């Protein structure tokens, strides 16, 4: 059994949705393109799962957040794919790939061949078992990667009102889920090994602002330790967690957000990997010229840093996907991918944006006891990164712009004195 397509997108997440829209803009013909996804639904804006989806009132539900509404573009429903002659092969896992033969084999036994393949397999959540802790398949232990996970989390959350949650991990999932749990009237303790939250991005000073805000909402921080074991009742439900520091926390619900691994396994030994992802060039092309990789799974050259990076953020997924399609469909007209890293988050009444790189020395500005503040990072005499909490649209555009320009900075104290005004003036 087999089918042949000109273009195949493997994976049906954020990048797949944006790639599909770009294909139609570039003039793909009916029957030329298919998307194969393990998920049973058409591509959607994954960021909604830790935000609007978890709200107690008027929560976001599909079909409202199919791609590409997150970038204020068309919402691609299953009907849209049908009308554009794009085949959605959903609920179907690809179990092996042969890039030499240009074929994919699905778990249902179908062989799908392509002329061009875009790998958009994203990533999977790391499990506690990979750190030597067992029991995380209990009914009230939740991971969060896809709609099925989010639906389960909502179900467990609704059964835990006024109860206790333990959030394992102090990264993006930990921070966003902790806020959602509090909004759902659940008492939250956050447990993570680092000295402060968001260790990959925040400096201690920035982290302390968010931690104080979270504490004012009743969230309890347990830092510098990790889970050692779960405690179960007779029904196999988790009732608490033991920590390595010897303490115990009761739990009606546990949310685990301890990082991800890119889904590269189908291509290991066939394509070049770097930094945990599939290595691509500035056309998003892998070591096999018929195969492209985009989104969380791709390690691509970030021109402004002069090095290969793998990013795990939605803006990178959207833009790399569009760029790959353009490189395939209009190779002559497509310039090098020149991407400025952009991360953001929204929790409670807070909202921040970050552009560039958080290397070098941080220079702070604004009011850390108020509602708007930020930081620049200066590395080797150049401004390379900017962070802003509570900015206006124009202010966010200004920090994005100044980071893209990478101005030379001779005097850090002058930059500190000018603060946000420096970005606005560039």
Minimum Å distance from CB 316 to ligand FDA? 7
Residue 14 binds: one of ligand FDA, ligand NAD, none (C-beta under 5 to 8 A by kind): ligand FDA
- 168 binding ligand NAD? (CB under 6 A): yes
CB-CB contact of 31 with 88 (8 Å): no
Q: Which two tokens stand for residue 254?
A: 């546990």
Q: Is 275 helix (H, G, I), strand (E, B) or coil?
A: coil
Which residue, 3 or 152, is less far from ligand NAD as judged by CB? Answer: 152
For the residues of 325-380, what is the DSSP string, one character each?
A: HHHHH-TTT--------EEEEEETTEEEEEEE---SEEEEEE-TTSS-EEEEEEET
Rg (CA), the chain: 22
C-alpha torsion sign, points 282, 283, 289, 292? positive
Which residue, 74 or 416, is less far from ligand FDA as judged by CB? Answer: 74
- Distance between CA 172 and CA 352 in Å, rounded? 12
Residue 170 binds: one of ligand NAD, ligand FDA, none (C-beta under 5 to 8 A by kind): ligand NAD
What is the distance of C-alpha 142 from the center of its chain? 17
- The stretches of 53-115 forming alpha helices (DSSP H) are 78-83
Residue 49 binds: one of ligand NAD, ligand FDA, none (C-beta under 5 to 8 A by kind): ligand FDA
Minimum Å distance from CB 408 to ligand FDA? 29
Which residues would be at the binding site for ligand FDA (CB under 6 A)? 11-16, 36-39, 46-47, 49-50, 93-94, 120-123, 144-145, 263, 266, 295-297, 312-315, 317, 343-345
Minimum Å distance from CB 16 to ligand FDA? 6
Minimum Å distance from CB 274 to ligand NAD? 17
- 50 binding ligand NAD? (CB under 6 A): yes
Q: Report the length, in residues, of the chain.
A: 426
For the segment 176-195, give every residue that binds ligand NAD (CB under 6 A): 176, 192-194
Residue 301 binds: one of ligand NAD, ligand FDA, none (C-beta under 5 to 8 A by kind): none
Q: Which two tokens stand for residue 169?
A: 């991990």
Binding site for ligand NAD (CB under 6 A): 50, 131, 168-174, 176, 192-194, 199-200, 226-227, 257-260, 312-313, 343, 345
């Amino acid at each position: 059994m087999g089918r042949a397509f000109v273009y195949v997108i493997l994976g049906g997440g954020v990048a797949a949705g944006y790639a599909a829209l770009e294909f139609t803009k570039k003039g793909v013909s009916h029957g030329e393109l298919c998307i194969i996804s393990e998920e049973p639904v058409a591509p959607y804006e994954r960021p909604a799962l830790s935000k609007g989806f978890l709200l107690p009132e008027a929560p976001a539900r599909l079909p409202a957040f199919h791609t590409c509404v997150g970038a204020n573009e068309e919402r691609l429903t299953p009907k849209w794919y049908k009308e554009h002659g794009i085949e959605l092969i959903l609920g179907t896992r690809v179990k092996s790939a042969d890039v030499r033969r240009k074929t994919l084999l699905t778990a249902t036994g179908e062989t799908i061949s392509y002329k061009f393949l875009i790998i958009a397999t994203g990533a999977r959540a790391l499990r506690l078992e990979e750190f030597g802790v067992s029991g995380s398949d209990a009914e009230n232990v939740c991971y969060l990667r896809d709609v099925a996970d989010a639906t389960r989390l909502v179900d467990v959350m609704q059964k835990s009102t006024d109860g206790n949650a333990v959030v394992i991990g102090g990264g993006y999932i930990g921070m966003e889920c902790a806020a959602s749990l509090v909004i759902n009237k659940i008492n939250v303790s956050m447990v993570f090994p680092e000295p402060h939250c968001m260790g990959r991005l925040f400096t201690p000073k920035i982290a302390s602002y968010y931690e104080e805000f979270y504490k004012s909402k009743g969230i309890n921080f347990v830092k510098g330790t990790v889970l050692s074991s779960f405690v179960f009742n007779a029904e196999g439900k988790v009732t608490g967690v033991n920590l390595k520091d010897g303490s115990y926390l009761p739990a009606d619900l546990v949310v685990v957000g301890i990082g991800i691994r890119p889904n590269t396994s189908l291509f290991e030994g066939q394509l070049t990997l770097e930094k945990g992802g599939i290595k691509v060039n500035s056309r998003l092309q892998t070591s096999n010229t018929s195969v492209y990789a985009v989104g969380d799974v791709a390690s691509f050259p970030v021109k402004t840093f002069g090095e290969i990076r793998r990013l795990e953020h939605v803006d990178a997924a959207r833009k790399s996907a569009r760029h790959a399609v353009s490189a395939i469909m209009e190779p002559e007209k497509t310039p090098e991918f020149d991407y400025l890293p952009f991360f953001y988050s929204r929790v409670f009444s807070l909202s921040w944006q970050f552009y560039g790189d958080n290397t070098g020395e941080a220079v702070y500005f604004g009011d850390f006891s108020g509602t708007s503040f930020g930081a620049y990072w200066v590395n080797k005499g150049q401004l390379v990164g900017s962070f802003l909490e509570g900015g206006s649209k124009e202010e966010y555009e200004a920090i994005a712009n100044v980071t893209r320009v990478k101005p030379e900075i001779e005097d850090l104290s002058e930059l500190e004195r000018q603060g946000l005004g420096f970005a606005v003036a560039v």
